[in-house]
A and B are shown apart, each in its own frame.
Chain A
């Protein structure tokens, strides 16, 4: 589904990704862990097409297409979803208007008819329940005045609405208390399909108690330096990142 080969990317003249290789197949859950500044968020931003980053080398194939040639909106319509570490507040754009526009753009791309107002509202109601999102939030402006937990739930709600084939969750667990974490994780688990895949980007093992990964990668200084099963996360939790640094010869 996703094939990343020797990916290099820079921001502001500084190389952050220095040859990332990653292969994700349908049905898999991958966790990408790593210390601060290792390039985790850069990787997710580059995959989603953030214009501030430029790719200087390598290839990314997503469902057979050259992902790097697509605009951010085309990547979304092709089935890629990024749950933001810091969801953006957009005063004046209502959640309803935002999601209706997004869902209908996806439908247009798939040659499906636009949803009627009634169909759309029903879809919203159904999906809101998955993350226990307050109905009142849906009538507010996008993320405006939402608490940290509400913002993260709102990300998963959007994921539920758009039904992506590949979801990248960037530090979705940061800033969440244990109840919110459980709600968000349950939401992600409920949305899992045999043909969809998930990449979890996280600092901590905690999230992985709820969303169990098939593969754990360690990203360090812009490269994936170690790949193993879910037990790798436990080792990291116990020993920290220092032994990785030693392993790569520092």
Chain B
């Protein structure tokens, strides 16, 4: 089986892996290995078969990403951080963060701020049931750590750029931990990029803890290339009166799996979970989301839209589970998809499981083509067929974009999406590494 090679690699190298990481990440490895041998790898498993390099010895590439890589979203004015392949790179030029805010590598955070990290890390991991997470726990040695203290509202967004770069095929595993204490607020933009011509496989986990009355916005923008397989898990924990907005956008990739598990533990909390996929050629995009309404009086709204062209394959599996104590839950789940070509393929599986009796839930999913009447209407006004199609596709995804509250990101995305829908590659501007 494909995981066996990785399991023996881990067993041979476990001391070395531990020595280049920190204890709180190391404690789970053996259990994760045990679990993986039972669960196996089920998502894009064949992708793991390539002869990837895994950077166990933590060699740093002799590149300063802060100098050589320009972000896709200019003018956002964010605090910028890089994880290059699997390694956090500190930003020496960074403007001073607000008092009490900590942003650093997770490995460093474990050694320096063990008391902060310990109550949270791995708490949302389900390595006994999720093979991807078990794989992640076995190998993750680094990642981003963010700590927002009680009552602090961030003045600017944080941005994490996951950049894949190398002359050989690379497998990168990382674990991010984001903690928002009570009454705080923060926005995080995660950009996934790939440069160079190598094959990449990533397995990344982001755990987020949102305290009471805290407000968190999570944006993930994937704009990589056709040799990139991206397996990401976003694990969200919400306390009372918290608000979370998440937008997961896939513009360009090879194979992507986004797993979202949101645990709304608190009462009177809200979650807006959104996603947008533009796929063509042989792209595969899978968003699998689970929203667990555990606390009462909370609401969730989920909206995912796909536009698939070429032979692209899309999957949306959405589960909303309302626990017995989660009375007065309001949940709405919507998945709308457009298959532009005859060979594009969409699978959707919206699901509700309700164990409380006083709730308001609904869900809906559609798969369709462009509206021929609308297309004719636009063309009858002199707009070319190609331009009319573009306008309609853009209109279709429009409401997902409207959920984005970072104006600079929204403007940039409109431009990138327009280019993408016109069939142009929306490459990053000014990327020195790519040139």
Contact = CB atoms under 8 A, between A and B. Distances in A.
B381 A158 contact: yes
A96 B43 CA distance: 45
Interface stretch (B101-109, B326-334, B368-376): B368-376
Interface in B358-407: 371-374, 376-385, 387-388, 391-392, 394-399
A48 to B, nearest CB: 5
A82 B382 CA distance: 11
Contacts of A105: 382-384, 387
A75 B385 CA distance: 13
A75 B379 CA distance: 9
Contacts of A102: 378, 381-383
Contacts of A51: 372, 376
Contact of B391 (A52, A72, A93): A93
A105 B391 CA distance: 14
A193 B374 CA distance: 30
A97 B380 contact: no
Interface residues of B, number: 24
A90 B379 contact: no
Contact of B387 (A49, A72, A92, A101): A101
A142 B398 CA distance: 14
A73 interface: yes
Interface in A82-114: 82, 84, 87-88, 90-93, 97-98, 101-102, 105-106, 109
The B interface, classified by DSSP as helix, strand, loop or mixed, is: helix
B229 to A, nearest CB: 32
A223 interface: no
Given A51-B372, A51-B376, A72-B376, A90 B382 contact: no
A77 interface: yes
A235 interface: no
A6 B123 CA distance: 78
B382 A92 contact: no
Interface string B258-275: 000000000000000000
Report which residue of A48, A50, A84, A90 has the largest number of chain B beta carbons within 10 angstroms of its beta carbon: A90
A158 B394 CA distance: 21
B376 A50 contact: yes
A162 interface: yes
Contacts of B379: 49, 71-73, 76
Interface in A128-187: 141-142, 158, 162
Nearest to A48: B380
Nearest to B376: A50
A195 B28 CA distance: 82
Contacts of B395: 90-93, 141
A97 B376 contact: no
A90 B385 CA distance: 15
A44 B344 CA distance: 35
A75 B395 CA distance: 25
Contacts of B372: 51-52
A76 B377 contact: no
B399 to A, nearest CB: 7
Contact of A88 (B373, B396, B398, B399): B373
A73 B383 contact: yes
B374 A90 contact: yes
Given A92-B399, A93-B395, A101-B391, A49 B382 contact: no
Contacts of A101: 383, 387, 391
30 contacts: A49-B380, A73-B380, A73-B385, A73-B388, A75-B380, A76-B380, A76-B381, A77-B382, A88-B376, A90-B374, A90-B378, A90-B391, A90-B395, A91-B395, A92-B394, A92-B395, A92-B399, A93-B391, A93-B394, A98-B378, A98-B381, A98-B383, A101-B387, A102-B381, A102-B382, A106-B382, A109-B382, A158-B381, A162-B381, A162-B382
Question: Which 6 pairs, one residue from A and one from B, show the smallest C-beta to C-beta distance?
Answer: A92-B395, A92-B398, A76-B382, A72-B379, A88-B377, A102-B381
